[in-house]
Structure 1
Amino acid sequence: MSEKAEKKQQNALWENIKVVVQALLLAMVIRTILFQPFTIPSGSMMPTLLVGDYIFVNKFAYGYSRYSLPFSPNLFSGRIFGSSPNRGDIVVFRFPPNPDIDYIKRVVGLPGDHIQVKDGILYVNNAAVPRQPDGVFTSDYKLDPGENVPVYRERMDNGRTYDTLDQSPYSRGDNTREFIVPEDHYFMMGDNRDNSLDSRFDVGFVPAENLVGRASIIFFSLGNDTSFREFWKWPANMRWDRLFKVVE
């Protein structure tokens, strides 16, 4: 091989390496600053989000904290470019007792709010959140089949509406004490009200610093407990009607 040909080959290799590095850096920037993919691991947000949904989380919706960065380096405290969630937003956040774990729930209480559940009805600042029957729901998730579970559509005072499940009128989360949300904290609940470990229980109040981002869009969805790796099962188990669905 001539010296000229060898140099040309080396240049081509170097150009390929630069393209790969640039692509990796771009992907890192997008994941760190803009959007992060997230998989729904449990049925706590049914019927809004299902096990097997893959979503994008909008990371710039509420600004950035240490938990916005890979490996959560302790470079600063609080949030920068911060803005507050609205009641009804679905949020990915770090579990306060163990920030290595991601949770996803709906914001029902803002700083200063009084939150209580009485006889299965959510109360915000001593006012019952209106809800109306909205059909029934059956899950394809084997660990939580939930056949013909009553669905209720709630309406927050800001006009935000969403569906919730009420499997039992006697679950331990149907009657709670009154919670007063501290400053710079939020109260979170799952839409699957009788099967959600949330701020009523061990999650507690979620600090603003722990917010990762707002659930934005479902970009992929597999039913019947189908693993992403089982690509040969995709055609039969793809939830086609959920692809690119905006999260409410």
Structure 2
Amino acid sequence: MNLQMILGNFALILFVAMVFTGIIWFLDIFYFAKQRRITADKALAAFDARNAKLTAEGLKIDNTSRQAIETALLRQPTWIEYSGSFFPVIALVFFLRSFLYEPFKIPSSSMVPTLLVGDLILVNKFTYGIRLPVLNKKVVDVNNPQRGDVMVFKYPNDMSQDYIKRVVGVPGDTIVYENKRLSVNGQPVAYTPLDDYLDDESPVYHKQLVENLTGVPHRILNSDNKPGVEVAIVENFPKREACDFSYEKFTCTVPAGNYFMMGDNRDHSLDSRYWGFVPDKNIVGKAFFVWMNFSNPKRIGGIH
């Protein structure tokens, strides 16, 4: 694991911070606080003995506040105080984003019109099974990804990057994409034309259709001036022998334990057509809600 991957892995950074602050928090409870108590008790005993001696000798006793001495000696050092304050917060955030929900920001237009650049989304981390934080190893099976799900996963070519696409093929499926139309296991996917879509980032119209992927309707975009697959930039990815490519058509049989992903902005998405299948071990979770887009607050709502 190189430095760039470590810096890009917020879960690992959060885990290290939780462990570091947690160790300090526990040491303070079970060791440092007891040592401060011992030191304070010794100082108070000496203070009381000194005052008792002064009283016996008829001299003026020390007017220093006994409570002030005890408070000062029991006070946590600043570095322990801050660590102790941060630990419960960091631990709660780590638990929530590791096992329940994790926020992401959409950085590109590959999922337009379903997701726009700047959308802040929530991802369900447990719907596809409970995984160990940082290692991302599944320890409890719950559900498997289904065709039509919008899924976040680790990019196979760089595990420090999170990608989001739609599940088009599950293990064992045969996917055919011909003339920009999908067929799954020999069954053509239904399409319904919509009005053209105007790109917010540039004054360009795209063909817009509703694609009903085995019972999951969602909007997709196509561009007339783009081929279905730009064969020249297809990579030599693992298990590529399961696929057959041409400019107008490709066919892929999804291997066991893998998924075939495509962006809804079909002609402006680098996806499984180009870099291959997504292994189960790369799965992060299912995107289900847009909780904010600061440029367009009306975007708040569920993801379909």
Check conservation: 2:155, 2:161, Cα contact below 8 A: yes
Q: Does 1:51 align with 2:105?
A: no
Secondary structure, in 3 states, of the residue corresponding to 2:273?
coil
1:201 aligns with 2:201: no
CA shift for structure 1 position 35: 1.1
Matches within 5 A, 1:142-221: 145=202, 147-157=204-214, 159-168=215-224, 170-173=226-229, 175-202=248-275, 204-221=276-293
Q: 1:51 to 1:186 in 2, by over 3 A?
A: same
Kindly, what percent of the aligned residue pairs are identical? 36
CA distance in 1, matches of 2:203, 2:210: 17
Matched AA of 2:284: V
Q: Bigger shift: 84-93 or 1-10?
A: 1-10
Deviates more, 1:33-42 or 1:7-16: 7-16
Distance 2:178 2:139 in 1: 34
Q: Distance in 2 between matches of 1:198 and 1:213?
A: 17
Question: Tell me, which stretches of 5 or more residues in structure 1 are unaligned?
Answer: 223-237
Work out which of the residue numbers 107, 116, 119 in structure 1 matches 2:176.
Answer: 116
Distance 1:242 1:8, change over 3 A: farther
For 1:80 and 1:49, locate their aligned partners in 2 and report how far apart those are by CA, in whole Å: 30
Q: Which has the larger radius of gyration?
A: 2
Structure 2: gaps spanning 5 or more residues: 1-64, 230-246
**By how many angstroms is 1:240 displaced?**
1.5
* Distance 1:171-1:79 versus aligned 2 partners, 3 A rule: farther
Aligned length: 221
Bigger mean CA offset, 189-198 vs 169-178: 169-178
- CA-to-partner distance for each residue in 1:12-71, whole Å, 9 max, x for gaps? 9977753421011100111111111111111100000011111111111111446xx23x
Alpha-carbon distance between aligned partners in 1 of 2:272 and 2:153, rounded to the nearest angstrom: 12
TM-score norm. by structure 2 comes to: 0.66
- Please state how far the C-alpha of 1:109 moved relative to its aligned partner: 0.5
Residue equivalent to 1:227: none
* SS of corresponding position for 2:267: coil
After TM superposition, which residue ranges in structure 1, 4 or more long, deviate above 3 angstroms? Answer: 7-19
1:100-155 Cα offsets, whole Å, 9 max, x none, are: 221110001011111011111111112211010122222323xxx26222210011
CA contact (8 A) 1:150 1:167 kept: yes
- TM-score (normalised: structure 1): 0.80
In the alignment, which residue of structure 2 is the partner of 1:233? Answer: none
- 1:240 aligned onto 2:240: no
Which structure has more RCO (C-alpha within 8 Å, separation ≥ 6)? Answer: 1
| More helix by percentage | 2
In structure 2, do the counterparts of structure 1 residues 65 and 152 end up closer, same or farther at CA, with 3 Å as the change threshold?
same
